[in-house]
Amino acid sequence: MARAHIDMELRWGDQDAYGHVNNVAFARYLEEARVRVFELGSARERTGMERHFREGATGLKTLVANQQIEYLNVLEYGPSPITVELWIGKLGGSSLEIHYEVVDGAATGRSVVARAITTAVVVDGRTLRPVRLSAEGRAAVEPWMDEPLRFRRG
């Protein structure tokens, strides 16, 4: 029962013409959080998941099959990094659900500005066909499973 924490800088250019962080930028933050956890292994915690999922490590690749983002609050650009909290909400045969809460680092208290779920499918790097997660893969992921998110809508 644990979450990985990824601290991430905002960029002024993440803002749109309304002067707030644009909704598309959040998809970029989620991508960066996944890369840091599953490729670089550079979250605050040493999750070890990158040892199984890093490209080249196993010849596997993970594709985004579905992604849902719920926007809860406006996020303003500033010097404080946001924190993406990331965990595994569900584990299928050859897919996993990555759940996230995006926390505004400038807020007093823990202010969640967005929540999201990515359904990622593990595929063979060459054929792009789904591949069942190995026992080692499941073992790497299981310590990072936590309660699934529930969206307000849909």
Give yes or no for a contact between 113 and 72, defined as CB atoms under 8 angstroms apart. Answer: yes
- Closer CB to a second copy, residue 115 or residue 135? 115
3-state percent breakdown (helix, strand, coil) of the chain, nearest 5: 25, 35, 40
Binding mask 37-76 for a second copy (x = CB under 8 A): --xx-x--------------------xxxxxxxxx--x--
Is 94 a binding residue for a second copy by CB under 8 A? The answer is: no
Contact set with a second copy (CB under 8 A): 8-9, 11-13, 15-19, 22-24, 27-28, 31-32, 35-36, 39-40, 42, 63-71, 74, 77-79, 117, 119, 128, 151-154
